[in-house]
Amino acid sequence: MKRLLVTICALALVFVCKESLAQQKQKMKSGQKSMNKVVRMDSTPYPYTAGYSSDFQMGNPVYARKVLELWKDYDDNTFENHDYFADTAVMFLSNGMVIKGKDSIYTGAKNARASMSNVTSTVDAWVPLKSVDKNENWVAIWGTEISTGSDGKVEKEDLQEIWGFNKDGKVVFMKQFSSKVPAETQQ
């Protein structure tokens, strides 16, 4: 009797699942949206409304790799190794300087790096992001840069940056935030 009951339950489950799949296929054929749509689950009330977006998901790690390669190129004084910038790229540096255009970015990076005998970066974290509502790719990165000037003076600076990419996978935007590390905490 138990076997018969288990068999009947299993057949009923198969039948219900089959009917559910058939109904889903019918809904998709009749023009209803696919179930693959991203549904935002956050219903938390916030005291501010985002000026750009508050709807992000994990992005493409290829973009994070590009940013990390650019950080490494700067350390190694080989900034021209990769052609990752769009012609119209804009960089907002933490000192208030704004650099517009790929050629100006490369020239500025080379000049800044030439004033240092050594640069070593450590990366604490990076996150590739995709703005769902804007359909744009970003990378957030933070770490520390230790630079030695041509005069031998060593400076340590914590950095946070956001990098924006266009549809062609080129950098179109970078904004940098920094904090000098106090001398007594440098080791």
Mean pLDDT of 138-149: 97
Closest CA to 178 of 98, 99, 94: 94
Q: Give residue-wise pLDDT tens across range 45-82.
A: 999 999 999 999 999 999 999 999 999 999 999 988 99
Question: Residue 7 above 80 pLDDT?
Answer: no
Confidence of residue 30 (pLDDT cuts 50, 70, 90): low
Average pLDDT, the chain: 85
What torsion do the CA atoms of 63, 64, 67, 72 make, to the nearest 10 degrees?
A: -130
Domains and CATH numbers, the chain: 56-185 (3.10.450.50)
pLDDT at 14: 46
Q: Residue 35: pLDDT band by 50, 70, 90 thresholds?
A: very low
More confident residue, 187 or 146: 146
First to last CA, the chain: 76
Q: In the predicted model, what is the mean pLDDT of residues 119-136?
A: 97
* Per-residue pLDDT, 186: 56
